[in-house]
Structure 1
Amino acid sequence: MNKVENIISVINYIEEHLSEKLTLSSIAKSVGYSKYHLHRIFSDTVGLSIHDYVQRRQLTEAAKLLVFSDRPILEIALISGYESQQAFTNIFRQMYKKSPNEYRSDEEFYPLQLKFDLKAGSPQNHTMMDAKENISFATAEDIPVWMDLVHLVVDGFPHLNESEYLMTLKEYIRKKQALILKSEGIAVAVMTISHNTGSIDFFGVHPLYRNSNIARLFLDKLMNELLADRSISITTFREGDKADTGYRDAYLNLGFAEAELLTEFGYPTQRLILAKEAGGNTDDAP
C-alpha cells in the first residue's frame, strides 16, 4: 500500500473506535506501525497530529449528540473517550467557545472535524509551479469535487453550515467569484472572493498539496488580475485559539498582517490584510 492507502486504514480504525480512549501508542499497536512512523506519515498527509485529529473527531461527534439527542452530558463525555464531565467540558469550551450546556441550548450543530475521506487513488503531494494558468472560474459541475475539498478542510472554518454554504457557493459561481484548480479529477484548491470588498471569503487547499506553491499562485492571480486595484483581506482564527490547526500562521507567512478583531456567527475571529505593496510579486516569494 502507498502512504495514502495506509492513512485510509488508520482513519478507518479511528472511526471504528471513536468511543474509546485512543492514543498514538494504542493506535500504532493496533495497526502495526511504530509510533514514530505513524506520527510522521499521519501528520504529513492529514496536516494534524493523531492526538488533534482524534480529539476533534470525538468532540464533533459529541457536539452532534448534544444537539440531536437528549443523552446526559456525562454520558456523552464518557462516549467521547473522556473520564469525567469536567475534563470534557474544559476541552469542549476551548474548541467550541461554549460550554456543552450552552451549545445544546443553541441547537445548532457544526463540525470541528469530519472524517478525513481520502480516496485510494488520491494524487501524491507535489509542486505545481506552472499551474496558475489552470486556475479557472468554477461552474455548477464543479460543486461535487468542491464540496469534497470543503469536507477535508472544514477544520479551518468554524461554524460552517453545509446547506447554507452550498446556497452561497452557487451565488459565487453565478457571479464568477469562485475559483478552482483541479488535477486528476479532484479539487486541489478552491477560493471565493468579493470584488466589492477585496475579501477572500473562503480558501481551501487539498492537504496533499499543502507544501506546494498553490496558495501563492492564487494570491498572485488576485493581486495582478482579479483584485489588482485593492488590498486583499481574509478572516481567520485569533491568536492563541486552541481550535486553530495552523491557518493563522499560514496566512501570516504569506504576508498578511493583523487588522481588527471580529466576531462572526458568534465566533471570535480576526481580519488579516495583504496590502499590494506588502505582497509584491508572489512568484518570487519563498
Structure 2
Amino acid sequence: MDWINKLNESINYIEENLTGEISYEVISKIAGCSVYNFQRMFSYIADKPLSEYIRNRRLTMAAFELLNNNERIIDISLKYGYESQDAFTRAFKNFHGVLPSKVRNETVQLRSCPKISFQITIKGENHMNYKIEQWPEFKVMGISQKLKTEKAFEVIPKLWEDAWKDGTMQNLLDNFPNYRPSGFLGIAQGGEWGESEDMEYIIAVTNYVDTAKCEYVPVIEGMKEFTYPAATWAVFEANGELPGVIQNVYKQFYSEWLPNSGYELDNLPVIECYMQENQQEVWIAVVKK
C-alpha cells in the first residue's frame, strides 16, 4: 500500500496547487522516484501524459468558476497559470470546444477531467514473467545526451533513429561483448528522486560485469562509460512487438506488480534491453520494504 499511498499523495499535491506553481520535482519526491520515471509511470497508468492531466484539471476547474462566480475571465486565466486571456481562451476552446465567454451567456456542453485516484488492482488475466536477481556491479559503454525531462518522450526516439543513421549502432554491434544486461540498452538517468528536471539518456551495451570470468571490453573511442553498483533487479520479460509490449510491462509493473510485491523502487535508472527477434527485457532496481 505504501506505493499507492505515495502516488495518491502526489495527486493530492497537484490538486492543492492547481491555482499555483506545480513542481515536477516535488511530485517525484513525494512519489519516491525520479521525475522521468514518475512521468512515464503516470502516462502508462493514466493513459495520458502528466502535463496533459494537469492542464485538463485546471481547465475543468476554470469552467466551474466561470459557471459559479463573477470573476473576470482575465483573473481566472491568471489564476490557473495562463499569462494572458488569449492563451487561456485558446486552451479552453481546445479542451471544452467553446469559448469561455459563452459559458456565462449560453447553455453549452463542457468537458470534465476528474481527479485521478490510484488503487491496487489484481487482475490476473495477463501474467508477467520476471526474475529477482542480485546483480554485481557492471559497466556500459555508449553515447549519451542530456535533455529536459519534459521533452524526453519526444527526443528519445530521435536519438535511436540518429544512432542508426550515423553508424553508432553498427560500431556497438561490431564490438558487442554480449554480457548481461543483454542487447542494446536504453538507460534514462539523472533527475533522481526529484532533485532535477534534467536527465541523461544513454544508448549502450554492457562492456563489463564484476565477476571472476568476465573480460573487460575497452570503451570505443568517442563513447562514454557508465558504472552501476551491485543491486537487486526485477528483470521482466517483454517479448513481442514494440513499443506496445514494453508499455504493457510498465503499466502492469506500476499498477499491479509493485504494489503487491513487498518491494519499492531503488534509486537507480531503469534499463530497457533490446535483443533480437522481438525479445526484450526491462530491468528495474528494487529494494525490500
- The TM-score bracket by the shorter chain reads 0.3 to 0.5
The structure with the largest helix share of the pair is 1
Q: RCO higher in 1 or 2 (8 Å CA, sep ≥ 6)?
A: 2
